[in-house]
Amino acid sequence: IVMTQTPLSLSVTPGQPASISCKSSQSLLHNDGKTYLYWYLQRPGQSPQLLIHEVSNRFSGVPERFSGSGSGTDFTLRISRVEAEDVGVYYCMQSIQLPQTFGGGTKVQIK
Amino acid sequence: EVQLLESGGALVQPGGSLRLSCAASGFTFSNYAMSWVRQAPGKGLEWVSGISDSGGRTYYADSVKGQFTISRDNSKNTLYLQMKSLRAEDTAIYYCAKDEGAVDTYFDYWGQGTLVTVSS
């Protein structure tokens, strides 16, 4: 399954919102009713960390300013008010089918 | 606190072999599938291999099938990746990742990574 993210990069003023799109080549809706779409953030020089699981569920400790939405093949990660610590590369990932595949990444920078 | 500590990365010549290890702590290792994910310099993330909680089932990306072998020792809380016939395109940071459940789930915790460089 091919995951396509847009935009490639984003420059955001602190306090302003940001939005990243992720599209999959096949529906990520399983017949168990779950949608297997995830979001990760890789801060500079660090390993990836899980932000969102199953489209819209924030992982433990993830701030409320991060939210996920979407269905089927179209998904969005939103940051309501970008902070300096949010810089890095954001990846979407699917796990409805092995191998898990990642989007190409969206680099978020602060203006 | 979940901790995953990779080791074993090194500079190796093309055609060489290397074994990576990942020491896990902070969770019941034997209850979870584990995976290796790699990231070539300046590139995105690529799932490489996964192994079930018992070690009885293993999975590989087509790009490494027949070249890499994943294994685990639940008595030592350690995950391994045996790599052979290494090529320049295997150069990457290799991350150990804990699967949330079975192999076909998502990765909820990642190690800090270990760098493998294949070059003469």
Q: Residue A40: name the closest of A81, A84, A4, A88 by CA.
A: A88
Cα A5 from Cα B54, distance rounded (Å) = 35
Looking at beta carbons, which residues of chain B come within 8 Å of A92? none
Q: What is the pLDDT of residues A71-101, one digit of tens each?
A: 999 999 999 999 999 999 999 999 999 999 9
User: If pLDDT is split at 50, 70 and 90, which confidence band does A6 have?
Assistant: very high
What is the structure's pLDDT at B103? Answer: 77
Mean pLDDT, residues B13-37: 98
- Write phi, then psi, for A86 (nearest 5 degrees): -90, 0
Mean pLDDT, residues B22-35: 97
Contact B106 A53 (CB under 8 A): yes
- The backbone region for A20, taken as left when phi is positive above 0, alpha when psi lies in -120 to 50, beta otherwise, is beta
- Who among B44, B95, B108 is closest to A47 (CB)? B95
Cβ-contact A48, A105 below 8 angstroms = no
The answer to whether residue A27 neighbours chain B at the CB level (below 8 Å) is: no
Cβ-contact A101, B47 below 8 angstroms = yes
Q: What is the pLDDT of residues B75-107, one digit of tens each?
A: 999 999 999 999 999 999 999 999 998 878 899
What is the structure's pLDDT at B102? Answer: 82
Contact A50 B50 (CB under 8 A): no
What is the structure's pLDDT at B79? Answer: 98
Mean pLDDT, rounded, of chain B: 97
Contact B106 A36 (CB under 8 A): yes
